[in-house]
Amino acid sequence: MEDGSLKLYVLKIILQKKYFNRIKKIISDSFFTNGGADIYNAITRIYEDNPEIEEISISDLQLSLFNTYFANQSFQAQNSIKDLLSRIEKIKDMNEGVVEECY
């Protein structure tokens, strides 16, 4: 898995709070580039603002990014993030055993 794909995969798995809680101890927004940091920060804020949420959908993440947390982004930045979200959504899930071994 190339570096860019790995970063997108990390963003995908942290949409589940159980993985986010583990990963946030070892990865910060500086791990990500090209809009990935904005996505990571939005995920972080969603969990902080809504502690009862166990999983974030791509559509909820997109709404939060563009309507709540980063509403004033440039058109180019929004398009970059939309592209990243589309790529994240298309990533196939690994089975849970593989994800667990990554820790």
Domain positions in the chain: 3-91
Residue with the larger pLDDT of the pair 31 and 97: 31
> Phi/psi class of residue 57: alpha, beta or left (left: φ > 0; alpha: ψ in -120 to 50)?
beta
Residue 11 is predicted with a pLDDT of 95
The pTM for the full model equals 0.84
Average pLDDT rounded to a whole number, residues 28-42? 90
Residue with the larger pLDDT of the pair 41 and 103: 41
* pLDDT tops 80 at residue 102: no
Residue 94 is predicted with a pLDDT of 66
Least confident of 13-27, 48-62, 83-97: 83-97
* pLDDT tops 80 at residue 70: no
Sequence length of the chain is: 103
Residue 96 is predicted with a pLDDT of 58
- Nearest partner of 44 among 83, 66, 14, 9, judged by Cα: 14
